[in-house]
Structure 1
Amino acid sequence: MAAHDRLLVQILLFALLGACLWVLAPFWSALFWAAVLAFASWPVMRLLTRFLGGRLSLAAGLLTLIWTLLVAVPLVMLGFNLADHIKDVTALIKDFQLDGLPPAPLWLVSVPVLGESLQSLWSTIDQQGAAFLATLRPYLGQLGNWLLARSAQIGGGMLELALSLVLLFFFYRDGPRLAVFVHSLLERLIGERADHYLELVAGTVQRVVNGVIGTAAGQALLAWIGFSIAGIPGAWLLGILTFGFSLIMVPPLIWGPAVLWLFWQGEVGLGIFLLIWGFFVISGVDNILKPYLISRGGNLPLIVVLFGVFGGILAFGFMGLFLGPTLLAVAYSLLSDWVAQKAPQIEAEIAEEKPMRG
């Protein structure tokens, strides 16, 4: 009976755990981002707590407020700016439909080989603007629906970000107790190897955070250099914006419009330079620098990190940038430990067989 009672209790515990995971499923992403932010900035939290005389709740509130000012406010402003630009684009399309296109820019004629053809195409579109827009109207409707869907996703992302910042406060405040709980749970599950795997996961996440921030800083510096060479106004501000957009892996949203602006100003040579610089240098360095920084200082082979970064992104989205390398790191360490434990046994068996054969 005791064995049956124990089995029944285990089944009930697993059922309870499954129900809890089901309840928390809608909040996994917010919980994940709050945990990553808390872990990455925990040294700052420790310093701030010490500076405030050990008042943990006050330090957690201040640091959460700082994250809100640094992350949430700029993203909300960006959302409003995007909405204004969408209105401007809609008004511009209506103006084109009523008044036609403006005169062709001078640089369009000076494009080698294709200049006259491009100017002729510009004139044709201007003369047949209404008919052209009529043919595009079904596609514009589809584009509008797509933008509406993306806007809904952006709105959901904003709510998720707000929830992450709320949860971040509790991760800061209750972080030490959570760490003790996780350590005790792992000790019950895997015994004395708990410390090893906690250090493995913590080190991997820290290297991923350093890799993401380091890559964003490198791309921002390269973007500033490219903007300065091309003579783009406000190159330093665009470099800072590139840093922010690199964190969400879309730096072309900064250097792409700069390329179009150069072409519109007639600076074709500088536009081509910035296009090549942006595609191969600013965006291309992400594929080299990020895996290197993540693998640096750890025992993971670079190929495992590459699979973890790119496979994680394909499987889980941006969240996979952290999940992919962490999962592969834990799996790689488990397999390495298992092989290391089996190897001495196999060598001992071989050593025992050799005298018998002799």
Structure 2
Amino acid sequence: MLNNDRLLVQILLLVLLGACLWVLAPFASALFWAAVLAFASWPLMRLLTRQLNGNASLAAGLLTFCWMVLVAVPLVWLGFNIADQIREANALLHNLQVDGLPAPPTWLGELPLIGDNLVTLWSTVHEQGTALLASARPYIGQVGNWLLVRSARIGGGMLELALSLVLVFFFYRDGPRLAAFVHSLLDRLIGRERADHYLELVAGTVQRVVNGVIGTAAAQAVLAYVGFSIAGVPAALVLGLLTFAFSFLMVPPLVWGPAVAWLVWQGDYGMAVFLGIWGMFIISGVDNILKPYLISRGGNLPLVVVLLGVFGGVLAFGFMGLFLGPTLLAVAFSLLGDWLIKEVPQTTEKDSTGEPIDKPQC
């Protein structure tokens, strides 16, 4: 009877846990990002708390306000600039419809094998621009609908980001209690020493991934801004911020690639070649050098485990997998290592009679 009561209590606890997870499921993404942001900036929280004589609530409020300003103001400013760029793109399409294309560049006709065909196609588009735009209008509408759906998703992402910035205050304020709760739970499940080991493992892995991803994105944004400024591309600062955002998705060429095409369109071929080389080997190339260095620095895990976790996590879980993937692989790698390690028993030397020989202590 006692065993049955115990089983019933365990089932009820599992049901209660499942119900709690069901309630929190809609906020999983916001909770995850708030936790990552609080964890990555926890040294700032400790420093600010010491400066405020241990007032954790005030320190959490000030740091949360700083994050809101740092994140919200650039996003609003970026939104207005993107709206201006969209208006300029619409004006460009209108001018193309009225005036047609400019004269084809001389190098286009000099291309071997396909140069004459490209010049003929250019002239055809110039002469029949209105008809071509009219025939392409249904496809443009489909592209507009696709962009509208993506814009709705981006809007939902902005709402999640806003909720994360609110939740991060509670992670700052109650962080020590949450950490103590998790440590006590793992202590009950796997023991104190193993709990300390795996908490340190998870913390170190997440910290290195955060440093690697954000550090690489910042470096690519600065290098992109320098390249755009040298090449004379307009809105270089906006494109630099877009490079920072696209670096998280590991596709910075989606920013500097159209800039190269714009320079070709303007006939500035020298700067187009420069920006193409700068983007390929400097902006995109730094991702192959800086990110592995920052991720692997100070860790005992093989670099390939962390990198596979980063890329595989993104494919499996989306953007959250950027942190979940390497953390899961790191914990699994450590668990397998602990399981495979076996203590080798110490052997003692024996004499001819089978008695152990005592070695003198040095």
Q: How many residues align?
A: 344
Q: Residue 285 of structure 2 aligns to a residue in which SS? A: coil
Offset at residue 242 of structure 1 (A): 3.6
One-letter amino acid of the counterpart of residue 306, structure 1: L
Asked which structure has the greater CA Rg, the reply is 2
Quote the Cα distance in structure 2 between the aligned partners of 1:151 and 1:232: 26
Matched, 1:16 2:10: no
Q: Residue 191 of structure 2 aligns to a residue in which SS? A: helix
Offset at residue 156 of structure 1 (A): 0.4
Quote the Cα distance in structure 1 between the aligned partners of 2:116 and 2:59: 65
Quote the Cα distance in structure 2 between the aligned partners of 1:225 and 1:92: 26
Runs of at least 5 residues in structure 1 that lack an aligned partner in the other structure = 352-358
1:232/1:128 CA distance change after superposition, 3 Å: closer
1:23/1:236 CA distance change after superposition, 3 Å: closer
Quote the Cα distance in structure 2 between the aligned partners of 1:244 and 1:143: 22
Quote the Cα distance in structure 2 between the aligned partners of 1:24 and 1:348: 49
Q: Residue 147 of structure 1 aligns to a residue in which SS? A: helix
Quote the Cα distance in structure 2 between the aligned partners of 1:313 and 1:78: 25
The equivalent of 1:110 in structure 2 is: 107
The equivalent of 1:260 in structure 2 is: 261
Question: Larger % of helix: which?
Answer: 1
Q: Residue 53 of structure 1 aligns to a residue in which SS? A: coil
TM-score, normalised to structure 1, is 0.87
Q: Residue 53 of structure 2 aligns to a residue in which SS? A: coil
Higher deviation after alignment, 17-26 or 111-120? 111-120
Quote the Cα distance in structure 1 between the aligned partners of 2:2 and 2:295: 49
TM-score, normalised to structure 2, is 0.86
1:186/1:94 CA distance change after superposition, 3 Å: same
Offset at residue 84 of structure 1 (A): 4.1
Matched, 1:174 2:174: yes
Higher deviation after alignment, 9-18 or 183-192? 183-192
Q: Residue 204 of structure 1 aligns to a residue in which SS? A: helix
Q: Report sequence identity in percent.
A: 73
Quote the Cα distance in structure 2 between the aligned partners of 1:248 and 1:77: 21
Runs of at least 5 residues in structure 2 that lack an aligned partner in the other structure = 349-362
The 5 Å alignment of 1:304-315 reads 304-315=305-316
One-letter amino acid of the counterpart of residue 55, structure 1: N
The equivalent of 2:356 in structure 1 is: none
1:146/1:103 CA distance change after superposition, 3 Å: same
The 5 Å alignment of 1:78-117 reads 78-97=78-97, 99-104=98-103, 108-111=105-108, 112-113=110-111, 117=117
User: Alpha carbon RMSD of aligned pairs, Å?
Assistant: 2.7
1:154/1:237 CA distance change after superposition, 3 Å: closer
1:126/1:236 CA distance change after superposition, 3 Å: closer
Deviations 1:248-276 (A, max 9, x none): 54433542343233223322132123223
The equivalent of 2:185 in structure 1 is: 185
The equivalent of 2:300 in structure 1 is: 299
Deviations 1:134-186 (A, max 9, x none): 32122212111110111101110110110000101111111111111111111
Question: Is the 2:81–2:238 contact (alpha carbons within 8 Å) kept by the matching residues of 1?
Answer: no
